Amino acid sequence: MADFGEKVLLHCVGTLDDGTVVVDTKAAGRPLEVTIGASMLPAAVEVAASNLLPGGTARVPLTPAQAFGEYDDSLVQRVPANVLPNVAGLSAGERILMKTPVGDLDVKVMSVEQDAVVVDLNHQFAGRSACFDIELVALVHESAIHRELHPAGCACGCDKLKAQIG
C-alpha cells in the first residue's frame, strides 16, 4: 500500500457515463506514474490506489463533482476579441488554449462575435459521471538521493535552503 507522497505505477481505464473512454493506459501499453496526493487523478481514484497492493484492482465510480466537476454556467464568459489571437479563424465548437496569468487554459469556443468571443471555461467533461478501473502495477521505490532532489517550490522549503547555500 502507498502512503501520501509516494509514487505508484497504475493502469487506469476511465470512462464517462456514456462509455466514452477518457484515459486507457492499458491500450497505450504503459502505466501512469502517479504521486499519491498530487491530484494527478481524481482524489477518490488516488485514495483507492493507495489502498491496493501490487496486482490489486478496483473500480471507482465517480459523481460529476468527484470526476471533472459540476457544470457551472457562470464559467461561460465573453472575452474581448483583442485578447485572443486569430479570432477570425475561430469557429463555434472549437477547443483552444487561452493564455492566462496562471497558465494555458483549454476552453471551448461557444460563439464568435464582432468584438468578443464567448468561451466555456468548464472542463470538457464537466457535469459527467465517470468510472475508473484501476490496477496497481507497482510501488515506485526511490533511493534516498532521489528523495532529496525535490522540485523547486516543494512544501518542505528545500529549494530556499539550496538557494541560500548555493
Q: Where are the domains of the chain?
A: 7-68+126-165, 73-120
- Nearest CA among 16, 54, 70 for reference residue 134: 54
Sign of CA dihedral 118, 122, 125, 128: negative
pLDDT over threshold 70, residue 147: no
**CATH architecture, domain defined by 7-68+126-165:** Roll (3.10)
Residue with cell 476579441: 81
Most confident of 9-18, 107-116, 150-159: 9-18
The grid cell for 127 is 457535469
Instruction: State the pLDDT at residue 116.
Output: 92
Fold match between domain 7-68+126-165 and domain 73-120: no
In the structure grid, which three cell numbers stand for residue 25, read together?
493506459
Q: In the prediction, which pLDDT does 166 show?
A: 45
Residue 49, pLDDT > 70, answer yes
Residue linked to cell 491530484: 39
pLDDT tier at 85, thresholds 50, 70, 90: confident
Residue 154's pLDDT is: 56
Could you give the residue ranges of the DSSP H alpha helices within the chain? 25-28, 43-50, 64-67, 144-148, 158-165
Amino acid identity for residue 154 in this structure: C
Q: How confident is the model at residue 148 (pLDDT cuts 50, 70, 90)?
A: low
Question: With contact defined as beta carbons under 8 Å apart, do 36 and 164 qualify?
Answer: no
Residue count of the chain, please give it: 166
- Report the number of secondary-structure helices (H) and strands (E) in the chain: 5, 9
pLDDT at residue 13 is higher than 50: yes
pLDDT at 92 over 60: yes
C-alpha grid cell for residue 98? 487561452
Instruction: Give the rounded distance of the alpha carbon of 10 from its chain centre.
Output: 15
- The CATH T-level fold of domain 73-120 is Thrombin, subunit H (2.40.10)
Is 60 exceeded by the pLDDT of residue 151? no
Does 41 have pLDDT greater than 70?
A: yes
